[in-house]
Amino acid sequence: MTGELSPIDKAKFVAARRAVDFVEDGMRVGLGTGSTAAWMVRCLGELVRDEGLRIKGVPTSTRTAQLAREVGIDVVSLDEAKWLDLTIDGADEFDADLCLIKGGGGALLQEKIVATASDQMIVIADVAKEVGQLGGFPLPVEVIPFGWQTTKALIEETLVSVDVLGRDTSLRMNRDAPFVTDEGNYIVDLHLHRIGNPRQLALILNQIPGVVENGLFIDICDIVVIGHGDGRVEVRDINQGTVEEERIDLLENDNLFADM
């Protein structure tokens, strides 16, 4: 089965496999959303089933909650957990300071709430997600449906005064209708190409009436686990200033792949 995976999927898998090593028995764990996070949830489910790992999982979307339950993870709400030991999630982009763009899957609001309610945030990503400067991936901004066109116009007006390369914006669609988040909101994607000052932009965007949250995660991520298509994994800890490299064996008889 592993031989059928693309190099990108292999990279996502090894990053997820390495990241679950940070999870200890009895922890309360934030479960991210997206393709890489889905690998992580499956890896945790395997540990729960085969090694008796006991954790409480707090999902960041309805689809993550469904997958977590399917693989046997005890799912609780953030209100029940109150505070988390760590959150493991993916990212659409990350830079050398571990600033992130997230929200490509539309779950940025719950993802940011859960991540900031954790002692530690670990990001798992394939090597292609690392960038010299954020902005190549469209920046998602979650807005309330009421007056969304006015909010979008205010965002466009604000972009004139900040250090970005592009200023095009678009309402995210789901076929012929606006994409709707788990919280019932819309998403406006900002096609900026380059963000000169992510911290400033994040603060400014959240001051606009109608904006609920933006996809810039600043000073939230502690560790990034970077997967490569050949099984190599790099673990960068921004707080400790350490970088570790290792290799994860991709076994053909891996239980995780057999389940799939």
Under DSSP, the state recorded for 2 is: G
Contact predicate 166/191, CB 8 Å: yes
**What is the model's pTM?**
0.94
- CA 5, CA 242: separation in Å to the nearest integer? 30
- CA 84, CA 124: separation in Å to the nearest integer? 18
183 as an active site residue: the answer is no
User: Cα-Cα-Cα-Cα dihedral of 24, 29, 34, 38, to 10°?
Assistant: 40
- Which of these is catalytic: 93, 111, 142, 213? 111
DSSP reduced 3-state for 5: coil
**pLDDT tens, position by position, for the chain (260 residues)?**
455 789 999 999 999 999 999 999 999 999 999 999 999 999 999 999 999 999 999 999 999 999 999 999 999 999 999 999 999 999 999 999 999 999 999 999 999 999 999 999 999 999 999 999 999 999 999 999 999 999 999 999 999 999 999 999 999 999 999 999 999 999 999 999 999 999 999 999 999 999 999 999 999 999 999 999 999 999 999 999 999 999 988 765 455 555 54
**Domains along the chain with CATH numbers:** 2-130+219-259 (3.40.50.1360), 139-213 (3.30.70.260)
